[in-house]
Amino acid sequence: MADAATESDLKQTPLHDLHVELGARMVPFSGYSMPVQYKAGIMAEHLHTRASAGLFDVSHMGQAVLIGPDHETTARALEALTPSNFVELGLGRQRYTVLLNDDGGIIDDLMVTRPLSPAEDGKLMLVVNAARKDVDYAHFRAKLPDNVKLQVVEDRALIAVQGPEAVAAVAAHAPQAADLAFMSAAPMEFDGIDCHIARAGYTGEDGVEMSVPAGAAEAIARALLADDRVEAIGLGARDSLRLEAGLCLYGHDIDETTSPVEGAITFCMQKRRREEGGFPGADRIQSELKDGPSRVRVGLKLDGKAPAREGAEIALPDGDVIGTLTSGGFAPTVGGPIAMGYVPAAYAAQGTSLELIVRNRRLPATVADMPFVPNRYYRKPKT
Amino acid sequence: MTTYYSKDHEWISVDGDVATIGITSYAQEQLGDVVYVELPESGKSLSQGDEAAVVESVKAASEVYAPIDGEVVEANDALAEEPAKVNEDPEGAAWFLKIKVGNADQLTELMDEAGYKAYVEAL
């Protein structure tokens, strides 16, 4: 997770000074100095997010815009690089997708939003992983047709607010946020500041991700943190929250060797694309959809208390090694250790007994449904 | 009874020929919330630098190395049920293990309380 860069090589987000003021422990992460935890600690931060609301600085992630002459052209250009349907993506709607290499492996996973305003026709907004910015942007520039350009957004910060009280806390400053459906987004003012707010996140909770002007990020964060319901949450709890939600961390649970079928994220592939193909690695991916993949990402619950972490081998009971963990740790809301890893499809059924090898000991574990904690994404009441 | 400290942030409290070993308050603070402690079996013979125990926080697993040679005479099995004790009382009730001192000369390589305090402040 951490890289070896020294403090002076690290980039800072617009909220850096606020993190330090709040007593954060700063660590190198994807070339940035980022808060791994604040004074409360990972466990308390995790539980606070599930109980109330957490504020996360995710400004290290890459924000960019694809700009083409009209929606259809831009959407088709992105469809050529991903297995998702963007042509039919509605105004103000957001979609999770993956950039694929020619072998059907995942270059990165990203969020794509079609602007709400018809005046922005031809634009698709992207949020990509911090560690993959350079790779992704180079890939786009090499592959996009001449009439669709990638514009990198350098002057905006990204703040996530997650938890059952998150939207109420944000709506106190940006009332329209309360009207957003899950996986939709709109431009709106937050205390008079122009922001772009999406109802989405990476914790399994209701909440938003707010793209805000870099110069206003600190004022917005302070306004939210002044609300008793909201606490600052570091990368440590962000990781344990997303693990409980069964969500992939790029470079760990998915990478250039894993396909979206193996990664169990086929929800990013809509019906038309599955049938038509026409994306990189379509041969492999369509045959995996038809016949099943040889290996697949599964959730695992350990029977005991000892955690198993990324890199631990997965084995059959008293038998051979069949796979490797890609994430794992103590899950505060579950109250015990959980993990994710890849196993042959024959051993992927829920309830399958397996063993995880930690320090030469075999810890019993059971294949479990994901998410480990029920999602609480917002569902708009039917009127 | 004399208490010594290692550069790996362990405390070693020696009473006669038995040394009680745990991690310091500074160490538990660095680790964060402790969720699991793996302790050695009684009778296990440890050489200085051997892995004596493993302490797992939400974040990561960290090894606790034997600061001196010795044979394990007791492990604090209460930590299996209540690992959070390591955060609450690291230099008291949350001791990790007791060993029969195998080589008392190795104690002279360790720091006293004042020395450890200065060591931590310089970090």
Whether residues A221 and A163 fall in one domain: yes
Domain of A177, CATH number, reads: 3.30.1360.120
Closest CB from B33, B56, B80 relative to A43: B33
ipTM confidence: 0.89
| SS3 state at B25 | helix
For residues A105-111, give the mean pLDDT.
98
Choosing from A209, A244, A279, the residue where a domain stops is: A244
Answer whether residue A214 is part of any domain.
Answer: yes
For residues A317-346, give the mean pLDDT.
97
Answer whether residue A169 is part of any domain.
Answer: yes
Bridge partners, A254 (sequence order) = A250
Q: What's the domain count of chain A? A: 2
pLDDT digit string (tens) for A285-311?
999 999 999 999 999 999 999 999 999
| Angle between helix A235-244 and A42-51 (nearest 10) | 60
Task: State the pLDDT confidence band at A2, using cuts at 50, 70 and 90.
Answer: very low
User: What average pLDDT is seen over chain B?
Assistant: 96
Bridge partners, A337 (sequence order) = A330
Answer whether residue A149 is part of any domain.
Answer: no
Whether residues A322 and A217 fall in one domain: no
For residues B94-115, give the mean pLDDT.
97
Whether residues A39 and A177 fall in one domain: yes
Answer whether residue A80 is part of any domain.
Answer: no
How far does the CA of residue B90 sit from the closest CA of chain A (Å)? 17
% pLDDT > 90, chain A: 96
pLDDT digit string (tens) for A189-233?
999 999 999 999 999 999 999 999 999 999 999 999 999 999 999
Asked if pLDDT for residue A4 goes beyond 70, the answer is: no
Write out the residue range of the structural domain in which residue A238 sits. 7-59+156-244
The Cα A60–Cα A63 span in angstroms is 9
Domains of chain B: 2-103 (2.40.50.100)
CA A34, A328, A254, A300 torsion-angle sign:
negative
Residues of B with CB under 8 A from a CB of A: 32-33, 35-36, 38, 54, 56-61, 80, 83
Whether residues A34 and A160 fall in one domain: yes
Whether residues A162 and A238 fall in one domain: yes
Whether residues A299 and A229 fall in one domain: no
Answer whether residue A375 is part of any domain.
Answer: no
Choosing from A203, A220, A244, the residue where a domain stops is: A244
Choosing from A226, A244, A262, the residue where a domain stops is: A244
pLDDT digit string (tens) for A114-162?
999 999 999 999 999 999 999 999 999 999 999 999 999 999 999 999 9
**A97 conformational bin, left if phi > 0, alpha if psi -120 to 50, beta if neither:** beta
User: Chain A interface, mutation test: which of B28, B56, B62, most A Cβ atoms within 10 Å?
Assistant: B56
Cβ-Cβ contacts under 8 Å, B59 against chain A: 36, 42, 236, 329
* Strands ordered across the beta sheet of A123-128: A94-100, A106-113, A123-128, A62-67, A149-153
Whether residues A163 and A227 fall in one domain: yes
Whether residues A52 and A181 fall in one domain: yes
Between CA A250 and CA A261, with CA A256 as vertex, the angle to 5 degrees is 80
Contact A135, A173 (CB under 8 A): no
Find the closest chain A residue to B79 by CA distance. A305
User: What average pLDDT is seen over chain A?
Assistant: 96
What pLDDT does B56 receive?
96
Cis-peptide into A307, omega within 30 deg: no
Asked if pLDDT for residue A91 goes beyond 60, the answer is: yes
Count of Cβ atoms closer than 10 Å to residue B93 Cβ = 14
Whether residues A40 and A188 fall in one domain: yes
Answer whether residue A51 is part of any domain.
Answer: yes
Answer whether residue A224 is part of any domain.
Answer: yes
Q: Are strands A53-57 and A230-232 parallel, antiparallel or unpaired?
A: parallel
CB–CB of B58 and A329 under 8 A? yes
Whether residues A192 and A336 fall in one domain: no
Answer whether residue A225 is part of any domain.
Answer: yes
User: Can you say how many angstroms the Cα of residue A215 is from the centroid of all Cα atoms in its chain?
Assistant: 25
The Cα A316–Cα A296 span in angstroms is 15
Domain of A339, CATH number, reads: 2.40.30.110
